[in-house]
Amino acid sequence: MVIALVKKPKPAAPVALEDAVGGYSEFATLIDQVGDAQAEVEKIEKKIKELQGQLKPHKERMSELEAKIAALDLPDDETGKEKGLRWTIEFGKRGSSTKIADLPRIAKILGQKLFYELATVKITDLKAYLTPPQLAETTKVERTARSFKIVKTV
């Protein structure tokens, strides 16, 4: 005779919508507040999208202007002006960006412990170089926030 013990999944604990006094819980109230605002939020988001569309030609001209400024044959520390018919552009020195030139030397100077605290490795880079088993051995997956959507109660 074989006896199989099957563990039944426990249902999720229900969220109390009504508190002891007969009113609604803070959670239920918040759900309704977000839901009530949803229609207005959608209208605002639509307006924002339309306005962003109106900005597209300006952004394209700004990109063109940035490219022309970048192509100017001037020394890095020189500033300048250029006149249009109605507007004048004033541009500054070229910016600067610092990049690490000798990573092994930095690791040696800082020491292994501090270097590992400061160093950052992108997961996408690891996925490109490690096999799935290696990735599973060397990384830890943590759960993040739940997704949700508000729907009209029927």
The answer to whether residues 70 and 125 belong to one domain is no
Our count of domains for the chain comes to 2
**CA–CA dist 32, 13 (Å, integer):** 20
Dig out the tokens for 95 from the structure.
């910016």
- The tens-digit pLDDT sequence of the chain (154 residues) is 555 555 555 555 555 555 545 567 889 889 999 999 999 999 999 999 999 999 999 999 999 999 999 999 999 999 999 999 999 999 999 999 999 999 999 999 999 999 999 999 999 999 999 999 999 999 999 999 998 888 888 8
Question: Cα 86 to the chain's mean position, in Å?
Answer: 39
Residue 102 vs residues 14, 116, 123, 127: alpha-carbon distances, Å: 57, 16, 22, 24
Domain hosting residue 91, numbered range: 23-96
Phi, psi dihedral angles at 83 (to 5 degrees): -100, 140
pTM: 0.56
**In this structure, is residue 4 part of a structural domain?**
no
